[in-house]
Amino acid sequence: MSQIESYSSRLVDLTTCELEPIHIPGGVQPFGCVLVIETTGLTVLQASANVGQMLGREPSTLLGHDVADVIGTANAAQLRELPEIHAGNDEATYLGPVAVGAETGSPMFHALAHRWDGAIILELEPFQSGESVAFPNLYPLLRSFLANLALAQSVSELAHLAAVEARRITGYDRVLIYRFDEDENGTVIAEDRNDVLPSYLDLRFPASDIPRQARKLYRLNRLRLIPDASYRPVPIVPPLRPDTGRPLDMTYTRLRSVSPIHVQYMRNMGTAASMSISLLQNGALWGLISCHHQAPRVVSLGLRTVCGFLGEVLSLQLEAKERQADSELRMRLGSIQAKLLGYMAEEDQLDEALENHPEELLSLADAQSAAVIQDETLTRIGAAPDEAFLRKVVDWLDEHVRQDVFETDSLASVFPEASNRLDRAAGLLAVAISKVHKSYVLWFRPEIIRTVRWGGDPRKPVAPEHGEQRLRPRTSFETWKETVRGRSAPWRRAEVEAANELRNAVVGVVLRNAEEKARLGTELMRINEELEAFSYSVSHDLRAPFRHISGYSELLMEEKSLSETGRRYAATIIESARYAGDLVDNLLAFSQMGRASIHPAIVDMNQLAEAVRRDVAGEAQGRNVVWKTDNLPDCVCDPALLRLALRNLFSNAVKYTRTRAEAVIEVGAKRNDGEVVYFVRDNGIGFDMQYVHKLFGVFQRLHRMDDFEGTGIGLANVRRIVERHGGRVWAEGRVDEGATFYFALPASAETEEA
C-alpha cells in the first residue's frame, strides 16, 4: 500500500486529531497536476502521478529533466524570479495560460507557481475553451456586488449580499456565510440557496469541525476548492523529496489533497463539491464563505479569482463596519467615562461619586447592577446581590485574580457560590482600584437563557476500531437544540477596555490625592513642630513676668496707704496673673505632651484609678461624692501620661457635679473588637451634643468661666495622650443629665491573656 493510500484509508485517532499532518498529505486532487522543481537548475524533483494522463508524459520521463521541456523556455524563465512565500506575500504567481508540448494545438493549462521550503511548486490546471482570467472580463461579474456595498448598513446585510453574489457567480446549490465566535464555534449568519440542499441559516457548528491546523491553512490559503468529494488522491512521485528526504510541504498548494475526515464530513453532509473562501480581519480568521453543491462541480480558475476578490472586498467591508460600530461605542463610553471622572473630581469620596450617578456607572459597562467596595465601605447600585455575597466575591478576586481587570460571562463556572445568584450575577466585570486594599468596582449582568441551534449533535462520535477509540465525523446535520444556562451576555472588548480606563483614571486620582495628602501631612508636621516649639518658648518666657506681676501686686497689697479701691484693683490683678500663670503652665504641658517620649508598660488600671481618685479628693472636700469603680482591665501604656489623662477626666467630673446634692461618678471599662474602652460617667450638668465636636479642642469651653473655672486645655491633653497611644476619645451627654467620656486603647496580647 502506498503512502497516500495508507493516509486516505485510515481513521484519525481522537487524541491526535489536532496533530493530523494535513500540510503534507502526500497527494493532490485530480483536477490538476503538480511539478516540484529545484530552484537552481529548474530540474523536476517530484511530480504528481497523473502527469501522464494530463501532460502526456509519465513521471519517470520528467524527473531530473529541465522543466522548460514541459512549459517552454519563456515560462521557465519566470520561475527564476519567483519570490519566497512569506507573511506579506502568500499568493502564488499566475504564469498565464501555457501550452504543454511543442506541437501546434498542444493542450493549454493555467499555470500557478510559488517558491516554498527551498523548492518551486508548479500547479497546472486544464484551460477550458473560452475561459479568461483577464480583469476586464471578470469585473462585470462583481459590478452589482460592488454597487450594492454602499447600501448595506450592517454586518448581516453585507453577509447576505455576499452570499447572493457568490452563488450567482458560481452556480452552487448553497452558499453560507460563517462567523466564528470567541470559542471558535461557527454560526451561519447569511445564506443563499436553491431547494436542492437544506437550509443551515442560524445554525451553529462546533469548533471541533475545523481543527487548529486546518484553521491555520484557512488563514494561509484564502480559497480552497474540492470539486468532487469522491475523488481518489493522486500520489506525489517519489513520496519523499530527493533533495531533503522529507515529504513535500503543500501548505500553499491549491491542489493539495484534503483530510479524509473532511471528505467524509462532506459526504455525510450530502455535498459532493465545495469551495471555501476565508474572511480575515487583522490576520485572524473571522469567518468563511462556504459554497456547497450536491453534485461534483469544477469552478474555473477565473471564477475562483472573482470569488477570491469578493472575499477580500467583503473582509474589508466587514472590518470597516465593525470598526465603525466599535468606534461609535467607544465614543459613547468615553463620554460616560468623562462624566464619571468629572463627578469624582467634585466629590470627596469615590463611592459617593459613583453612588450618586448610578446611570452613568451602569451604562459604562451596559450592566444591570454594580457595587463599589473600599475596604469596609460597600455601596450597592441597582439590583446588586446582597452584601455578604459581594464580600465573598471580593475575597475570591483578592485571592485568585492577579490582573487588574477580570471579566466572565459565567461567574458560577469559576466561583460556584454564584450559581444561586444567576438572576443578578451570572456575569461579572471587575476592576481592582488598589493593590494593597480590597478596593473594587464590580459590574453584574443577569443570566440569559438561550436556545442554541446546532447543525447536528456537536459531540464528535467515537467508535471502537481494532481495540482503540477512533474519531468519526458525525453523520447527521439535523437541527440539534441545546439550552444554555448560567451565562450572561458577553462583555464586549470596548466595555472591558472602558472599565480598565476608568480604573486607571481612578487610580491616578487616588495616587494624586495620596501624594497631596502626604505633602500636606509633611508640611503639617513641620508646622506643628514649629508651633510646639513656639508655644513652649512663649510659655516658658511668660512664666517669669506673670510671677513678677503677681509678686509685686501682693507687695502692693501690704501698703497701708493703699485705698480700698486700690486693694480691690490689686486683688483682681493677682487673680488674673495667677489664672494667666495657670494657663501658661497648662499650655506648656500641652506642648510638651506632643514631644515627650512614651515609655509603655503593663499598668494596673485599678491601682492607677484609685491613686488619681485620692489626688482629686481635695477638690471635693465638704461635698457628698459617691465613687463607683468597676474592675478595670490592665492596659499597656505610659503610666505617667495616662495618670494625667485620668486626672483631667476625674477632676472635670468633680467640677461639673458641684451643683448636685449627691454627686455620682462611675468609672468602668469593656472589651470591644481588639481594644479596651474605659469611661468616666457623672450626673453633672452635662452638655448639648450639637457642640460635642468642640470638647477636645484647645481653649474650647462649653460653659461660662464665671460658673466653672478652667483653661480649656484639659480635654485636649486627654485626646493627645490617648491618640499618642494609638487610641481614640469621644463623649456623650445631655443637658442637666450628666456626661460620659470614653477613651479606647488597643488591647495587647499580654492584657488579653490577663
Q: Is the pLDDT confidence value at 566 over 60? A: yes
The alpha-helical segments, DSSP class H, found in 237-300 are: 260-269
Query: 441: which 3 cell numbers?
Result: 468596582
What's the chain's average pLDDT?
80
pLDDT in tens, 113-160: 999 999 999 999 998 766 665 556 667 777 778 888 878 888 889 999
Q: DSSP 3-state assignment of 360? A: helix
pLDDT of residue 393 exceeding 60, the answer is yes
| pLDDT tens per residue across span 46-81 | 999 999 999 989 999 999 999 998 888 888 999 988
Task: Return the domain boundaries, the chain.
Answer: 354-444, 513-591, 598-753
Q: Which residues pair with 192 in a beta bridge?
A: 175
Q: How far is CA 84 from the centre of its chain?
A: 41
Could you give the 3-state DSSP secondary structure of residue 600? coil
Distance of CA 693 to the CA centre of its chain: 44
- Checking if the pLDDT of 636 tops 80, the result is yes
For residues 643 and 712, the model is more confident at 643
- Highest mean pLDDT out of 89-103, 236-250, 409-423: 236-250
348 vs 669, residue with greater confidence: 669
CATH 3.30.565.10: does it fit domain 598-753?
A: yes
pLDDT value for 704: 52
**Most confident residue range from 213-227, 331-345, 686-700:** 213-227
Q: Does the 354-444 domain belong in CATH 3.30.450.270?
A: yes
Cα separation, 403 vs 398, whole angstroms = 10
Are the CB atoms for 55 and 70 separated by under 8 Å?
yes
Residue 406 phi, psi dihedral angles, 5° rounding: -130, 135
* 203 has a pLDDT exceeding 80: yes
Of the CA atoms within 13 Å of residue 641, those in its CB half-sphere come to 24
Of 633, 631, 634, the residue nearest 602 (C-alpha): 634
Lowest-confidence segment of 29-38, 204-213, 697-706 by average pLDDT: 697-706
Mean pLDDT of 556-565: 75
Average pLDDT, stretch 490-501? 86
Residue 652: pLDDT over 90: no
Cα–chain-centroid distance for residue 697?
A: 47
Contacts of 600 (CB under 8 A, 6+ apart): 636, 637, 638, 725
Structure confidence at residue 509 as a pLDDT band (50, 70, 90): low
Residue 348 has pLDDT above 90, yes or no: no
Q: Across residues 470-488, what is the average pLDDT?
A: 61
Interval 342-359 mean pLDDT: 71
| Separation between Cα atoms, residue 41 and residue 266, nearest integer Å | 41
CB of 603 closer than 8 Å to CB of 611: no
Q: Can you name the residues that pair with 754 across neighbouring β-strands?
A: none
User: Do residues 274 and 232 lie in contact, with contact meaning Cβ atoms separated by under 8 Å?
Assistant: no
Taking residue 88's Cβ as centre, other Cβ atoms within 10 Å add up to: 6
Q: Range with the lowest mean pLDDT among 106-115, 276-285, 463-472, 493-502?
A: 463-472
Q: What CATH code is assigned to 513-591?
A: 1.20.58
352-366, 441-455, 508-522: least confident range: 508-522
Q: What integer is the mean pLDDT of 176-191?
A: 89
The torsion of the CA quartet 473, 474, 478, 481, rounded to 10 degrees, works out to -110
**pLDDT at residue 16 in the model:** 47
Q: Can you give the pLDDT at residue 128?
A: 74
Q: Is the pLDDT of residue 456 over 90?
A: no
| Residue 278: predicted pLDDT | 92
17-38 burial by CB neighbour count: b if 16+ within 10 A, else e? Answer: beebebbebbbbbbbbbbbbbb
Coil, strand or helix at 741: strand
Return d(Cα 523, Cα 518) in angstroms, integer.
8
Asked if domains 513-591 and 598-753 share a fold, the reply is no
Span 152-174, average pLDDT: 91
pLDDT score, position 115: 92
